[in-house]
Chains A and B, each alone.
Chain A
Amino acid sequence: MLQQCLKIFRFSFAANTPSLATPWSLRPFKTEVSLPIIRFHDAQPTGQSIALDQEIFNQPIRRDLVQRLVRYTDLYDKKVTKATLALRDAAASGAKNHPQKKTGRARQGHRQRPGRNKGIKAHGRKIRSLRIDLPRKVRLQAYKVGLTAALIEGKFTVIDTEKLNEGKTKHLVQLMKGFESFTQPLLIVTSVDPDDLFLRASRNLENLETCTVREFNIIKILKFKSILITKEAIIQLTESLKQRKLTLLGDNKIVKKKYSEYPIEEYDPNKPLDLKFKVLREYLEDFEKLKKEGQLDKFIQDMPKTKKVGRINTINHH
């Protein structure tokens, strides 16, 4: 109870001006931020605006958490792919060079020991992955901090839709000139089902990148200086981050049913059969045709009678 009171007491205050230099105990924004929605074709504002959630876009700024997340995502896909040869890989036999005793030479076991010419490297590089661990709650919080920092710097602009009438790059280039930032690299964030024509038009351009909400990570937030987001993408982002928090707290349960509770379809002779495979459907059609015409019995009599062959491709062990 005490700790909950202290939390509310701590986070109720906010900074006077939103800046990146706020201490850890304050939030940068005092009230809810609402961004205006801009039309994609004209680059002019419509009368609508969208409100951004405070628990995602108004978190206290922690630069150290963001550094840890960036290091985590950088090393997620990295591996050491080259390896040195070990004793089992090197091209040499495992025989002893000369017997242990009765020769005047030093005792040696294998030909390619590390100190010798043409010898292997001891404790060399191995194939391994460079991934590191980071707690899931830290990853979530750092992602939210990155979004607030981008808001303070003014990177975001909201778009209603990204749909195009024609899939031509010429039209897209003209549209982008209205946003005044086309010389610098630009990012467009879309919902989970983007438009095909838009993807076709945007594929060949250098300074433009597109991604969906699932691929929108911290490195892209920090790399690009201007980001366009659609209205649906913001809604999907907030819902996915809320669900991530609920799974961490354990409140998001999926209830499984018993096998006996699933409905079992009983056989109705009046209903037509729904078969999955095409071959079986063709057999069914032939059967029904013959039944209508009354030639079933003839078909069965005319079928070639086969002998009992037994197993095919047997090896005679006798």
Chain B
Amino acid sequence: MFQTLQKLRVMCFMFATTAERKVPPTPSNMPFTLNNLWDNPGARKIQKRWGRSGTRGNACGRGQRGQGARSGAGVPPKFEGGQTPLTRRLPKWGAKPSLEIYREVNICQIVDRIKQGRIDATQPIQIKDMLESRIFSKCKYGVKLLARGAERLSELNTPLTIEVSDASKTAIEAIKKAGGEVKVVYFTPLLLRQHLFPDKYPLELRPALPPSRAVEAIQRTEERGAVADYIKPKWVIEDEIEKKKLEEMAKLEVDTLKVQLQGAETVETAKKEKKKKKQKQQEEKQVSTLDLTNFKYPASREPGCGKDKIKQRKPVVYKKLSLNLD
């Protein structure tokens, strides 16, 4: 009895208009037993199957005979009937960017989590704290700090110290204004995993020495105003020693500088005099060997040629549309 009623309901629903279908189902007072349960109308639809009446009968939409009508039919999408396909006609070119990119974190995301109590602002904020508070769910290569929502740092009372692998200029300036600090740390993927999941590594791993390309990226952030903490290779140490020497030279007394400069000046003047002499000798040679028979004056220069060309803008003329209203 109930099954016939349900079929009637489904039939009426199928022939109903869209406006009638959007009416929600009415609740009923029938008891809650295993034979008195039904889903909302329109929840389940009869599946269309191959080989049963209509467009899907007989040949099942495959046509007559041929490769396409067989089981396991078809050719791969690159196949062109034997002709060399487009992917093999054209040469390879280019390089692809690396997929090991840093994850982007904005300042407003950190401020929100501090207010909710998920991050402790008194201690330095590490990448581990960001993951536990679910700013992101996965981090394999590192974190970059960006400056969206930097005005909201004034709502906090404490200055922040953040440890990241890269940061932008406006972000560093905004944090320094509030009294905080940005620190740059170098992580390889393995070391990052140890930092985030320490209970999977009973033995502590050694810290890593970064390659030259990473060191240059860290130095760029140092110029923006961050503090760096990483193992430095030899060439960086030698560059720093040279820098210190130059700074010490600048702090020395002025007399010694003058002596050095004078000595340099004398050396330079002697070189210049030699050059001038050589030039004069060459010019004298050229002048003596000149042929003036086929000499012609160069063309006259008028104003408006070459460098002195007078440049004028074309006048702007608006189009006039004829609407044939007259």
Contact = CB atoms under 8 A, between A and B. Distances in A.
Contacts of A256: 199
Given A64-B43, A259-B202, A219 B34 contact: yes
Given A150-B32, A258-B199, A259-B202, A21 B37 contact: no
A66 B37 contact: yes
A146 B32 contact: yes
B281 interface: no
Contact of A222 (B33, B38, B39): B33
Interface residues of A, number: 26
Interface stretch (B23-31, B139-147, B157-165, B305-313): B23-31
A146 B32 CA distance: 8
Contacts of A21: 27-29
Contacts of A66: 32, 37
Contacts of B40: 64
Contacts of B199: 256-259
Nearest to A219: B34
A67 B29 contact: no
A219 B32 CA distance: 11
A82 interface: no
Nearest to A20: B29
A188 interface: no
Interface in A240-265: 250, 256-260
Contacts of A54: none
B301 to A, nearest CB: 76
Given A22-B27, A150-B32, A64 B202 contact: no
Contacts of B202: 259-260
Interface string A216-243: 0001001100000000000000000000
B37 to A, nearest CB: 4
Contacts, number: 52
22 contacts: A20-B28, A20-B30, A20-B31, A21-B29, A23-B27, A61-B27, A63-B27, A63-B38, A64-B25, A64-B38, A64-B40, A66-B37, A67-B37, A67-B39, A68-B39, A150-B32, A153-B32, A219-B34, A222-B33, A223-B34, A257-B199, A258-B199
A273 to B, nearest CB: 25
B198 interface: yes
Interface in B1-54: 24-25, 27-34, 37-40, 43
Interface string A148-163: 0110010000000000
Nearest to A65: B39
Interface in B112-143: 134
A19 interface: yes
A208 interface: no
Closest 3 CB pairs of A and B: A67-B37, A149-B32, A259-B202
A114 to B, nearest CB: 12
Given A20-B32, A64-B43, A260-B202, 8 more contacts: A20-B28, A20-B29, A64-B38, A219-B34, A222-B34, A223-B34, A250-B134, A257-B199
Interface class of chain A by DSSP = helix
Nearest to B28: A21
A256 B200 CA distance: 10
A20 to B, nearest CB: 5
Nearest to A152: B32
Contacts of B134: 250
Interface in B44-88: none
A70 B27 contact: no
A149 B34 CA distance: 13
A260 B198 CA distance: 10
Contacts of A222: 32-34
Nearest to A23: B27
A257 B198 CA distance: 9
A19 B29 contact: yes
A70 B29 contact: no
A63 B32 CA distance: 8
Most buried by A among B32, B34, B39, B134: B32
Contacts of B27: 20-24, 61, 63
Contacts of A64: 25, 38-40, 43
B193 to A, nearest CB: 14
A59 to B, nearest CB: 13
Nearest to B197: A256
A261 to B, nearest CB: 9
Nearest to B35: A222
B25 to A, nearest CB: 8
A313 to B, nearest CB: 38
Contacts of A24: 24, 27
A70 B36 CA distance: 11
Nearest to A67: B37
A71 B295 CA distance: 108
Interface string B202-236: 10000000000000000000000000000000000
